[in-house]
Every structure is written in structure tokens, then in C-alpha cells.
């Protein structure tokens, strides 16, 4: 089985199935197709499948021309019919792994995906999990389910964990140029996993087992979360002392060794950094361990929106205005600049908290024309055009996400008060408060 499957992967006659066509699955699907593979994309969202059939993209940073070129080959299609998993030689799972209301791992998307395809599995397939999760998930949750139909992992069917490393909007690195870690349940599984990803990725990094690969992904994101927590805490200290934290960071970054710059913000956003550390803290408790350092960073980062709201409140008070009934325009509601991804966006938390204090809140974001329905909440709002007239009509403009499309000089010229959480206005300006 192994030799036949690896041969099909090597000569690109293998059919690649991608389960979950979001910010990870769609670029992976397009990359496999561009490399010459036939690709099937699976998703429960019929809207996405219809957009693919029309050759249109539904993710801003993925060009529609890329999608159209892929579908035009006749070897790249989406489907909601998961029975077609039987057609695939490789099945790659790229579904969300959020937290539940108790900040515990929610593996329902992963488990449901696996249980949906299990009836259609057959000898000679490889299953890869890319969704970020705690160490042990692949072997504890996927392995027994794959073997429930009598298939033996390592001989009949193959199982690997290879964490995604997508960075939406990053023009320097793409799916195919970012090195990819891969761990197999058995040595044969690893060989197959390396053959699978070696067909499209410039460098595949083998590790000893799935647990190592799972922990590698968590370390990458915990590293960022902890360092961002550090600079967010220092931002509060520097603000109290009258020091510009960003000037401090830029000066420290001139040291050619031993320092990596991280920059503060209004909170953490995205599908990884605010969530993934808690996957490890939850799993560590199973071993009787407390991850105090990680949890402290989480507390600092989670508290940042409250600190920003407090800065807005005091800035308004200094101008004889209360937060209650104040008109506030939030600039940017995506979780990072130049994307339309709103997952765990701190901007949404800020909007909720400001409204909770009685403010009248609107937003402006060229990448999110209408506020979408998301799990956290929904506002019946559409993006406000940041014209001079509109800007002048707000008591406060809050820079929450620093998109390049914003005309910051126009904003500064016409806004009565600006609270800047992203450092877009260095130095001192009479109508700018840094937060």
C-alpha cells in the first residue's frame, strides 16, 4: 500500500482531498492544483462551493484570478458531498479548533469531519490533520476512529499531523515557501506524509511523532502570545511614565543579536494566538501541571481592550465629553492589517465594550463592507466611508486595525479626537492620544 501510494504522490496522479476550505484549506487546495494534482475540496458551506464553481474567491487576499485559473483546469472542484472522500488518495483536514465557553478545546469540527469520512475510507489512503490542537490529539482522537473499520494505521492507511503555518496577507511567504513540519504515527506514515507535502512545499521538516509536531505549532504561537503579552504590559508601564513604547522597541531592535521586536496592540486576534496557548494549558492540567507563564500572558492580552476603553473614556473626559452617548468610529475591525479575517478580532471586543458603556459605535473597514454574522456577536452595521464630513461627525475615532488603505492624514486633519492603538501617529499631535 505504501509503495503504491507514494508512487501516485510522486508522479502526481494522486487525488488530494482538502476538508475545510477556509483561510488554510483554500490556499492549500490551490497550491496542490498548481503543482499538477487533481484536487477535491470539501466544505459544509454551499456558498463557498458555489463561488468556487464560478471561479470566484471568497477570501480577500486570495486573488479571484487564482481561483478561476484552478477551476478552469477541470482538476480542481469543491463539493459538499463527503462520500466523495472515497475518490481521494490523501485527505487533509483543515477545520477550526476553537475554544468553548469555558476556554477548553472544542474538537467538534475535527471529530465530526473524521467521523463523516470514516465510512468512505479504504486501504491506500493517507489522512493528515493540520488543525492546531493539543499534543496527543492525532493518536487519541483520529487513530482509533480510522481503525474502527478494520484498517490498520501504518500498513493499510496512513496518518500524520502537519500543522498549518498560513499567515494571511503576508506577501513575503506563501503556502509553498513556508517550511512545513510533519510527524507520522509510524515511520511508514511519516514517509507518506513527506511524499504528500514534498510535492508542493519547498522544505518539509520531519519530526519523530505527531505529538512533537502538535507541540511545535503550540510553541510557535505561545512564543508570540507571551512576547506580545510582555510588550502590552510594558506599554501600560511606559504610558504611565510618559515614554513612547514603540520608540523603545525600535531602539532596542537596533541590537543585532538577542532581541526580536514585538509590538503592542489593543488585544490579540486571529485563529491561532488568542486560542492555541489554552490548548496546552488544558492538556497540561491532565498531567497535574500549571502553565503559569502562559496563563499570565493570556490575562494581560485579554485585559488590553479594557485598558483601551479606559483611555478612550479619559480622552473624552479631558475634552468635556462622557463616553455615554459619545459617537465613536472604530477604524478597522479585521484582526490584522490588510485582511478581511475577523476571527477573534479585538476590534469586536472593543465595539462590545464601548456599546456596553452607552457609546454609539460605528466602524470603517474597506475589507469588511458589512458586519458579518460571527459566533461571538453580530452588529447590524455597514462600513462607514471615512470622508472628511463623516470623520468630523464623531466624538472619537479609534484606530484599532491599521489597514494600509486608510488615509491617515485625512483622518488626522478632520477627526476631533483620535485614540491610536497601533502607533500610526508617532510623536505628539494635539488631537491624538496613544493607547
Residue positions annotated with a catalytic role: 272
Long-range contacts of 33-38 (CB under 8 A, 24+ apart): 33/70, 33/73, 33/75, 33/76, 34/70, 34/200, 35/176, 35/199, 35/200, 36/12, 37/12, 37/75, 37/199, 37/200, 38/75, 38/76
Under 8 Å between Cβ of 4 and 124: yes
Amino acid at each position: 500500500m505504501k509503495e503504491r501510494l507514494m508512487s501516485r504522490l510522486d508522479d502526481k496522479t494522486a487525488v488530494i482531498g482538502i476538508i475545510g476550505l477556509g483561510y488554510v484549506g483554500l490556499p492549500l487546495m490551490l497550491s496542490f492544483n498548481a503543482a499538477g494534482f487533481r484536487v477535491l475540496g470539501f466544505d459544509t458551506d454551499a456558498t463557498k462551493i458555489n463561488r468556487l464553481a464560478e471561479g470566484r474567491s471568497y477570501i480577500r487576499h486570495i486573488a479571484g484570478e487564482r481561483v478561476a485559473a484552478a477551476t478552469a483546469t477541470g482538476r480542481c472542484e469543491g463539493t459538499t458531498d463527503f462520500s466523495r472522500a472515497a475518490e481521494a488518495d490523501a485527505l487533509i483536514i483543515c477545520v477550526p479548533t476553537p475554544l468553548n465557553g469555558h476556554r477548553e478545546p472544542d474538537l467538534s469540527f475535527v471529530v465530526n469531519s473524521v467521523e463523516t469520512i470514516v465510512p468512505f475510507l479504504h486501504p491506500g489512503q493517507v489522512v493528515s490533520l493540520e488543525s492546531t490542537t493539543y499534543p496527543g490529539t492525532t493518536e487519541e482522537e483520529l487513530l482509533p476512529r480510522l481503525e474502527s473499520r478494520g484498517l490498520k494505521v501504518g500498513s493499510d492507511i496512513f496518518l500524520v499531523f502537519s500543522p498549518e503555518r498560513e499567515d494571511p496577507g503576508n506577501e513575503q511567504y506563501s503556502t509553498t515557501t513556508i517550511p512545513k513540519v510533519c510527524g507520522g504515527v509510524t515511520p511508514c506514515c511519516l514517509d507518506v506524509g513527506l511524499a504528500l507535502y514534498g510535492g508542493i512545499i519547498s522544505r518539509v521538516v520531519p519530526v519523530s511523532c505527531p505529538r512533537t509536531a502538535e507541540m511545535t505549532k503550540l510553541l510557535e504561537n505561545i512564543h508570540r502570545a507571551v512576547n506580545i503579552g510582555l510588550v502590552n504590559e510594558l506599554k501600560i508601564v511606559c504610558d504611565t511614565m510618559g515614554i513612547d513604547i514603540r520608540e523603545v522597541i525600535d531602539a532596542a531592535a537596533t541590537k543585532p543579536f538577542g532581541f526580536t521586536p514585538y509590538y503592542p496592540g489593543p488585544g490579540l486576534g486571529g485563529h491561532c494566538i488568542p486560542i492555541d496557548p489554552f490548548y496546552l494549558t488544558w492538556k497540561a492540567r491532565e498531567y497535574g501541571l500549571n502553565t503559569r507563564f502562559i496563563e499570565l500572558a493570556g490575562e494581560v492580552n485579554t485585559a488590553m481592550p479594557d485598558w483601551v476603553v479606559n483611555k478612550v473614556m479619559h480622552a473624552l473626559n479631558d475634552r468635556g465629553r462622557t463616553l455615554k452617548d459619545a459617537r465613536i468610529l472604530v477604524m478597522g475591525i479585521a484582526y490584522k492589517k490588510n485582511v478581511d479575517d475577523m476571527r477573534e478580532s479585538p476590534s469586536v471586543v472593543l465595539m462590545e465594550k464601548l456599546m456596553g458603556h452607552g457609546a454609539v459605535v460605528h466602524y470603517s473597514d474597506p475589507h469588511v463592507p458589512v458586519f458579518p454574522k460571527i459566533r461571538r456577536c453580530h452588529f447590524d452595521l455597514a462600513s462607514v466611508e471615512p470622508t472628511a464630513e463623516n470623520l468630523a461627525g464623531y466624538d472619537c475615532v479609534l484606530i484599532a486595525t491599521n489597514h494600509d488603505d486608510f488615509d491617515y492624514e485625512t483622518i488626522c486633519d478632520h477627526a476631533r479626537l483620535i485614540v491610536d492603538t497601533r502607533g500610526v501617529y508617532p510623536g505628539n499631535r494635539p488631537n491624538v492620544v496613544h493607547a
